[in-house]
Chain A
């Protein structure tokens, strides 16, 4: 059994994470290999979209991770504010750039998909628009960490922002969806929809699992780095004071 409370202690976390990391990395690599094989070679091309449909196997997991990471961030922030556990804020901080990257990946793959499908790189599709706004929320969160020098203040300010953003995400999502149905161009091929063939679903789920594993691996590495960076900083300050 993992004792979660004791994991909140940075030192114990480091020993734990170093033991888990290789396994997580191996599992992720396997999942990714299987997922890529299934999605590139096994999954049939779409009768309408042809091979372009394969972008979905990157796009959908990225979009999923974009939301998932924000949830992790908000959860960690809430934990940091309520229980003041030292690792929570660092977890949120470490997760943000990963989430932002997934969001960017979702946007880029969305645009790549849009080009052959719609004949244009960018369409103000509801999902793409929401993801774009989510990207801005990530940028704001990262910017506030950057802007405040004092660690405690930065951590708490960022945590408040993450929670405010979290409350807003569904509202933004709802309003953008609504806005899109009003302004929707005549024939838009949705990026999702009921038309997903079952043979496409298996690779999709494997890819989602692989992306989640990748997120965990990255998060562990970044978190370890954040902890060490903070310890190094504290040591240097202490040294400077003699």
Chain B
């Protein structure tokens, strides 16, 4: 018998084709609240595709994704508004300041007014060590600082599922450490994380899946 609908996020028999290329087939995963799933694999093994699929951007060619037992394909908007997706790109507007960038996305995501959210923004920037440059246009920021600002979005708006694609790219050691802390805190409050990583990400007690054990012949 099928277990009653849980709070988990699951993928079953997922197949991903981009163009005419099959990226991966028959992939299963299962993330429960408080759990992290680390996706590993060589370049081109489909880590990013899996995350975009998990976000609901990319429809699986075969297989199904379920959130709390419900098919995501049936109501993608409901899934969209309960997740954070951090891809390779940081989605920052160079002409706006650090704070303006964060505030824009926080207000768009939560619909909250300026006055109630301003503290959240300040706290998020503080956590990522960006308070000192809050009023600087992001144009002047280093790649690592931009990455931190993108990560601050995870804190500014609380959403249960985090999908992180190479979250540590361009981060320094301290930044990576902060990220691990943020992930741990998120998990301890019942959040879920799926992260594609290439290097090290010392998240304790996480599941791991490895994609494409053999590199595709080009």
Contact = CB atoms under 8 A, between A and B. Distances in A.
Nearest to A231: B20
Interface stretch (A116-124, A164-172, A233-241): A233-241
Contact of B217 (A149, A150, A151, A240): A240
Interface string A145-182: 00001110000000000000000000000000000000
B21 interface: yes
B19 interface: yes
Interface in B17-74: 18-22
A242 interface: yes
A240 B20 CA distance: 11
Contacts of B218: 240
A177 B21 CA distance: 48
A151 B21 contact: no
Contacts of B20: 151, 230, 233-234, 237
Contacts of A149: 19
A183 B139 CA distance: 54
B21 to A, nearest CB: 6
B71 to A, nearest CB: 16
B21 A150 contact: no
Contact of B18 (A150, A234, A238, A240): A150
A151 B19 contact: yes
Q: B19, B21, B22, B217 — which one has the most chain A CB atoms within 10 A of its CB?
A: B19
Given A240-B217, A241-B217, A242-B217, A150 B22 contact: no
Contacts of B19: 149-151, 237
A230 to B, nearest CB: 8
A230 B19 CA distance: 11
Interface residues of B, number: 8
Contacts of B4: none
Interface in A15-48: none
A240 B218 CA distance: 7
Contact of B21 (A230, A237, A242): A237
A242 B218 CA distance: 10
Nearest to A233: B20
B111 interface: no
A7 to B, nearest CB: 23
A149 B20 CA distance: 10
A238 to B, nearest CB: 8
A72 B24 CA distance: 36
A242 B212 CA distance: 14
Contacts of A233: 20
Interface in A90-140: none
Contacts of A238: 22
A6 B22 CA distance: 26
Nearest to A153: B19
Contacts of A151: 19-20
A142 B217 CA distance: 33
Nearest to B218: A240
Contacts of A150: 18-19
A174 to B, nearest CB: 37
B216 interface: yes
B58 to A, nearest CB: 10
A234 B22 CA distance: 10
A241 B22 CA distance: 9
A206 to B, nearest CB: 44
B217 to A, nearest CB: 5
Nearest to A150: B19
Interface string B196-218: 00000000000000000000111
Contacts of A240: 217-218
A234 B20 CA distance: 6
Nearest to A230: B20
Nearest to B59: A152
Interface string B163-199: 0000000000000000000000000000000000000
5 contacts: A151-B19, A234-B20, A237-B20, A241-B216, A242-B217
8 closest A-B pairs by beta carbon, nearest first, are: A237-B20, A234-B20, A150-B19, A242-B217, A233-B20, A241-B216, A237-B21, A241-B217
